[in-house]
Amino acid sequence: MAELTVRAAAPKPRVYAWVQDYGVYAAVLALLLFNVLFTPHFLDVANFRTQLVQVTPIVIVSLGMALVIGTQGIDLSVGSVMALSAALVVLYLGYGWVPALAVALAGGALAGLAGGALVAYIGVQPIVATLALLVGVRGLANVLVPQLVEFRSPGLIALGSSSVAGIPVIVLVAAALTVVMVFLVRRTTFGRQVVAIGGNRPASELSGLPVKRVLLIVYVISGLLAALAGVLATARLQASDPTSLGQFIELSAITAVVVGGTPLTGGRIRVVSTVMGALLMQLLAATLIKHNLPQSWTQMVQAVIILAAVYATRERR
């Protein structure tokens, strides 16, 4: 009788596991140290404030993207949803900035609902469904507001420019959303269901998990966060420009999620590391600019970091 031998998976080397868990933190610290030593005026408060304000929309969008990628999905429509929210908020400012904000968020939720329905109930591949929304939603935003529109709403402007104890409100919003997302992923049944579905969707369906409903909610959350990011960016600029707002931010968000250690194969969501991934890419771009290197260098370095992150987060067999 032939003997059946089962070979256990080899444990990951310690260095490899450490890079997976803490590599993005080490990279941020190394970049900070480099800037402290070699970049003039890096420690100025104004510089830190600028960096945080610029990265805030990417952080907010990346939080929703991390949920989607955790289910083995992708959401390419987030930039267009930002543009749609910018168009809606300026169209409804006549009713007050709070109702306008509510309409903009509702528009983002509906866009997410459409993408989630296509993925969960119709079975369209996430990349195809959200690519269609990327084109269609951007077109709708440009129809609603075909050119840049400035506004003078004190409430909305305050949302984008005011501070609490010297910290910009939009940064505090991003920090609060990060805390909420950490709690959602780590401490709630919904978060455990998202991770389980990303890890093994067929098994999740067989075990009775509400897979379709969870996927729908995940894409709605992504749409809501993208819409909020669009409103905050519009408030900071004091102008609505759906033509250019949010362009390519989906690539920045995916980069932040991957660099942060969330695998594209799903089944794992690293929220805080995603935020650190966004900060890393922002610091990298700012560092190269401050040292008079062209944008092309930034893009090439980012490409190398993305490839290294994908390699580090892959499952070693």
Q: DSSP labels for 115-177? A: HHHIIIII---HHHHHHHHHHHHHHHHHHH--S-EE---HHHHHHHH-EETTEEHHHHHHHHH
Burial class (CB in 10 A: 0-12, 13-18, 19+), 231: buried
Residue 3 lies inside a defined structural domain of this protein: no
Phi-psi category of residue 270: left, alpha or beta, with phi > 0 → left and psi -120 to 50 → alpha? beta
How far apart, in whole angstroms, are the C-alpha atoms of residue 232 and residue 1? 69
12 has a pLDDT exceeding 60: no
- Looking at residue 299, its pLDDT comes to 77
pLDDT for residue 17: 65
- Local confidence band at 11 (pLDDT 50, 70, 90 cut-offs): low
Q: Domain range spanning residue 293?
A: 23-31+44-313
Contact 274, 66 (CB under 8 A): yes
Average pLDDT, the chain: 89
Domain-embedded: residue 175: yes
Of the chain, the percentage scoring pLDDT greater than 90 comes to: 70
- Report if residue 157 sits inside a domain: yes
Poorest-pLDDT segment among 9-23, 88-102, 183-197:
9-23
Choice among 74-78, 115-119, 158-162 with the minimum mean pLDDT: 158-162
The yes-or-no verdict on residue 204 having pLDDT over 80 is yes
* Residues paired with residue 150 on neighbouring β-strands, in sequence order: 239
**Is the model's pLDDT at 55 over the cut of 90?**
yes
The residue whose two tokens read 């250690």 is 261
pLDDT at 8: 44
CA atoms of 220 and 222, how far apart (whole Å) = 5
Q: What is the pLDDT of residues 131-147, one digit of tens each?
A: 999 999 999 999 999 98
Q: How far apart (Å, rounded) are the C-alpha atoms in residues 285 and 94? A: 38
Q: Is residue 12 part of a domain?
A: no
Whether the Cβ atoms of residue 295 and residue 317 lie closer than 8 Å to each other: no
CA angle 265/230/98 to nearest 5° reads 130
Q: What CATH number does residue 256 fall under? A: 1.10.3470
CA-closest candidate to residue 78, choices 247, 233, 289 = 247
Which amino acid, 6? V
Model pLDDT for residues 145-184, shown as the tens digit of each residue: 998 999 888 999 999 899 998 899 999 999 999 999 999 9
Give the per-residue pLDDT at 76.
96
Residues near 157 by beta carbon (within 8 Å), at least 6 away in sequence: 151, 235, 238
Across 7-11, 50-54, 128-132, least confident range: 7-11
Q: For residue 250, what pLDDT is reported?
A: 94
**Calculated CA dihedral for residues 150, 154, 157, 163, nearest 10 degrees:** 160
Q: What is the pLDDT of residue 291?
A: 84
The reply to whether 13 falls in a domain is no
Number of structural domains found in the chain: 1
Q: What would the mean pLDDT of 232-242 be, rounded to a whole number?
A: 93
Q: Residue 60 domain-assigned? A: yes
Which pTM was predicted? Answer: 0.91
Least confident of 44-53, 58-67, 222-231: 44-53
For residue 17, being part of any structural domain is answered with no
- CA distances to 9, 64, 113, 139, 205 from 212, in Å: 32, 17, 12, 28, 9
**pLDDT at res. 293:** 79
Domain assignment of residue 36, yes or no = no
